[in-house]
Amino acid sequence: MEMTAQQDVRAKQAANAPKHPTAWIIAVSILILIGGTLFLYSRVSWQQALLYVLGAFGGFVLYQAHFGFTSAWRKFILYRQGEGIRAQMIMMAAASALFLPLLVKGSALGHPVSGYVFGVGVSVIVGAFLFGIGMQLGDGCASGTLYHIGGGDANGIVTLIGFIAGSVIATTHFDVWAKMPQWEPFSFIGEFGPLGGFLLQLVLLAVVYYAVTVMEKRRHGQRVATSLENRHGWKAIYKGPWSLLVGALLLAVTNALVLMISGKPWGITSAFALWGAKFVQLFGVDPTAWAYWQDEAKRQALANPLYYDTTTVMDISLMVGALLAAALAGRYTKPIQWKRRTRMTIGALIGGLMMGYGARLAFGCNIGAYFGGIASFSAHGWAWFVFAFLGSLIGVKLRPYCAYKN
């Protein structure tokens, strides 16, 4: 009789439980996005509010398309599956076409517009290489870490902590790396004109696309594509999953809109250095004495509230957008796995440290240096791609020691 009574209680609790257990997460996500947009519109500007929305859209797209930079490279390195890298090349081509008229004109919406064009030198090579190793150990790049956190991956939190710490360490002696040998910034459209630069860009993207496809066919006899099972019908528009191609095109549009509104391409990791500097200030440390913060714009960012920093605003909304996407996709019907093997936690922390340190040296991450750099027709974006990929070759080999499954 006692067991029957307990079963009756459980049956009543189940009957009275919400039919949509993730409904409150969806509601909170939407409220945060609406509230944040209104707050930024009233306190900063309509541009900052719109960038907040774009960050959320980017996070939504990244999650629903499962658009990973780290996993795409890993799949090719281990199994010669190149679908993810091909999608990245398509994304770069679309973004380049959208960036080109803005960069040639040099202005949009009444303010100057410029891409990410930096010199290639020791700092970029070392930084990208370290980032490539770290992204495999941390099980996610910069954008991946943020959208993984929004998607309920507790490992991403550990990676982010390491990311912030590594960024702070790099800023303390940034001048040492800045003095290392490097070539002058090289822009394809600056050197070869808009048409010549654009054609050269397309040729390089096509070469990577072709090479990846050839190596994939040698291994598998054909191109390997992920088959998406549409269980939601038309609701897949907001429940997902989306194809990598859709994700690539939407991310290209997002980056172009960021360039148009903010005057510079999408970036992520500069905010981590800022967060870390703000944190150490709480303990009486003065980051303005460090080399990285000698730049007037950076010092101003350090003095201002965080909501004035565009990258911070977009990073936060990216996580919220991914949170909303994950809730709509049903991710939170299952509990979050907080327990992690110690080796995995250590690996994520080390990976985050390497990415944070490397991103400061290489003028950005997979979004700022790789995506933004290549879309800006900068040679440093291509250099970042090469050396970060080489780093990933090592990172993939180290993953099993961190209890990751490849």
Each residue of 98-127: pLDDT tens digit? 999 999 999 999 999 999 999 999 999 999
Identify any residues that bridge with 121 across adjacent strands, giving them in sequence order.
Answer: 182
Number of separate domains in the chain: 1
Angle in degrees, CA 241, 244, 246, rounded to 5: 85
H/E element holding 112? strand 111-112
Mean pLDDT of 347-362: 96
Kindly tell me if the per-residue pLDDT of 52 is higher than 80: yes
SS3 string of 332-375?
HHCCCCCCCCHHHHHHHHHHHHHHHHHHHHCCCCHHHHHHHHHH
Q: What is the pLDDT of residue 9?
A: 40
Q: Is residue 9 part of a domain?
A: no
**Does the structure show a pLDDT above 90 at 336?**
no
Range of the domain at 82: 22-106+115-402
Kindly state the DSSP code that residue 173 receives in the 8-state scheme. T
Tens-digit pLDDT profile for residues 371-397: 999 999 999 999 999 999 999 999 999
**CA end-to-end span of the chain:** 50
Tokens of 351: 């990976």
Is the pLDDT at 404 greater than 90, yes or no? no
In a domain, 169, yes or no: yes
Q: How confident is the model at residue 240 (pLDDT cuts 50, 70, 90)?
A: confident
Which helix (H) or strand (E) segment is 397 a member of?
helix 379-398
If you average pLDDT over each of 35-49, 211-225, 234-248, which comes out highest? 35-49
Query: What distance lies between CA 271 and its chain's CA centroid?
Result: 12
Q: How many angstroms separate the CA atoms of 149 and 322, rounded? A: 8
Total Cβ atoms within 10 A of residue 41: 15
pLDDT at 14 over 70: no
What DSSP state is assigned to residue 111? E
Q: How far apart are CA 61 and CA 218, in angstroms?
A: 32
**How would residue 228 be classed by pLDDT, with cut points 50, 70 and 90?**
confident
d(CA 358, CA 126): 7
CA 56-57-59 angle, 5° bins: 65
Q: Which of 267, 278, 282 is nearest to 304 (CA)?
A: 278
DSSP for 290-316 reads SGGGGSHHHHHHHHS-GGG-HHHHHHH
By residue count, the chain amounts to 406
The more confidently predicted of residues 3 and 80 is 80
> What mean pLDDT value characterizes the chain?
91
The DSSP code for 45 is: -
Higher pLDDT, 105 or 1: 105
Q: Find the helix packing angle between 46-64 and 244-262, rounded to 10°.
A: 170
With bands split at pLDDT 50, 70 and 90, how would you rate the model's confidence at 20?
A: low
pLDDT of residue 113: 96
Alpha-carbon Rg of the chain, whole angstroms?
22
DSSP 70-89: HHHHHHHHHH---HHHHHHH
Which one-letter amino acid corresponds to residue 35? G
Render pLDDT for 277-315 as a digit per residue (tens, 0 to 9). Answer: 999 999 999 999 898 998 888 999 999 999 999 999 999
Do 58 and 142 contact (CB within 8 A), yes or no?
A: no
- Mean pLDDT, range 9-31, rounded to an integer: 66
- Please determine, for residue 208, whether its predicted confidence score (pLDDT) is greater than 60: yes
**Whole-model pTM?**
0.91
| Chain-centre distance for alpha carbon 78 | 22
